[in-house]
Chains A and B, each alone.
Chain A
Amino acid sequence: MTDTLEPDTFELAAAARPTSLVDLLDRVLATGIVLSGDVTICLADVDLVTVRLRALITSVREEERDG
């Protein structure tokens, strides 16, 4: 079966509205199949909320230090 579709529908919608980072992280860090890599940690095992919060806090601290 063919599963090709017109690419412009996707691209137009994506271009019209920039994706918010948090919406994106909800998906790329917390969903998607996990075929654990043989090199890296399995992200399913990481507390992703902690990762996200730590990332945010670190970046805020850096801004304060730089600013």
Chain B
Amino acid sequence: MSEGASSPGTYLYAVTRSVSSALLNGVCGIGGAELRAVPAGDVAGVVSTVSLDEFGEDALSRNLEDLAWLERVAREHDAVVQALAARTTTVPLRLGAVYTDDHSAASRVSDARAAALATLDVLDGREEWGVKLYAIRPQTTAAQPADRPTSGLDYLRRRRGELERTADDARALAEDADAVFADLRAAAVLARRHRPQDPALSGVSHPMLLNAAFLVGRDDRPQFHRAVDSLASTRAPGAVVITGPWPPYSFAALDDR
């Protein structure tokens, strides 16, 4: 291990229109570091100092595979973005953008200024909601007929029927997810689908059919919640899960998709 003098880097959390001291009041960055603004014309980045021992290229690739590290940093990153988003319109950055110094961070923010301003206009007065849909089957235990196949041919016929039913099921579930997405999209400004979560990661054993994010006007929150409630009321308990409000993470990159 090398001795304590680690070189510092500038970690960029988000871009906003302008940063007053009140905006950063009482909010800490990663590792409890102080936040500061790097102005770039009519937009500004919010940054803090991190150690390159932790966030340098090699260190970061290694640390991203350490779940405890990843969780801590993800939550600290999110805490900053949440605090900013609660106070002003905020374009969150993806976790892990580190620059050699504030000047370098400011110049990247400045390069992205036009896109950031356009995004800020879309995000004004809006918030993100997450909706997940799980395939939860009613508990029908009598799945298999007890009688045995009468012949090889009978066996094959039954097996094919089973496979077709499974394929039909999968199709029906996918259509259901599409319908839910379309319904909620109609109650939102923008919508996008994330990849469904792996049960090993989510801890939920039911298959996830839909993992979606919706950008909703704050004033339209009650209508959006009613739309979610009405979908949930026709399904098994726990089949529809809403999360939020989130800072508009899923709608920060408008021009790259």
Which residues from chain A sit less than 8 Å from chain B, CB to CB?
1, 3-5, 7, 9-11, 13-14, 17, 19-41, 43-44, 46, 49, 51-56, 58-59
Determine whether B202 belongs to the interface, using a CB cutoff of 8 Å to chain A: yes
Please tell me which one of the listed residues A3, A32, A41 contacts residue B249 in the complex, with CB atoms under 8 A apart: A32
Is there contact, CB below 8 Å, between B112 and A33?
A: yes
Contacts of B211 in A (CB 8 A): 26
Give chain B's interface residue range (CB within 8 Å of chain A): 35 or more
Contacts of B102 in A (CB 8 A): none
Determine whether B97 belongs to the interface, using a CB cutoff of 8 Å to chain A: yes
A40 to B195, CA, bound (A): 25
Is there contact, CB below 8 Å, between B253 and A32?
A: yes
Given A3-B17, A33-B91, A38-B100, A27-B218 contact (CB < 8 Å): no
Is chain A's binding surface mostly helix, strand, loop or mixed? helix
A46 to B197, CA, bound (A): 18
Is there contact, CB below 8 Å, between B97 and A11?
A: no
The 4 closest A-B pairs by CB, nearest first: A27-B249, A32-B94, A59-B67, A10-B86
Determine whether B29 belongs to the interface, using a CB cutoff of 8 Å to chain A: no
Contacts of A9 in B (CB 8 A): 86, 218, 245
Contacts of B256 in A (CB 8 A): 34
A35 to B40, CA, bound (A): 14
Is there contact, CB below 8 Å, between A55 and B67?
A: yes
Please tell me which one of the listed residues A28, A46, A56 contacts residue B201 in the complex, with CB atoms under 8 A apart: A56
Contacts of B98 in A (CB 8 A): 37, 39-40
Contacts of A3 in B (CB 8 A): 17, 88-89, 124-125
Q: Could you jot down 6 A-B contacts, CB within 8 Å?
A: A13-B245, A29-B74, A30-B195, A33-B112, A34-B253, A54-B65
Which residues from chain B sit less than 8 Å from chain A, CB to CB?
9, 12, 15, 17, 52, 55-57, 60-61, 64-68, 70-71, 74-75, 77-78, 82, 85-89, 91-100, 104, 108-109, 111-112, 115-116, 119, 124-125, 127, 130, 194-195, 197-198, 200-203, 211, 213, 218, 243-246, 249-253, 256
Residue of A nearest to B250 (CB): A31
Is there contact, CB below 8 Å, between A7 and B57?
A: no
Is there contact, CB below 8 Å, between A40 and B86?
A: no
Given A3-B89, A22-B201, A55-B65, A37-B96 contact (CB < 8 Å): yes
Shortest Cβ distance from residue A49 to the other chain B in the assembled complex, whole angstroms: 7
Please tell me which one of the listed residues B9, B111, B197, B252 contacts residue A32 in the complex, with CB atoms under 8 A apart: B252
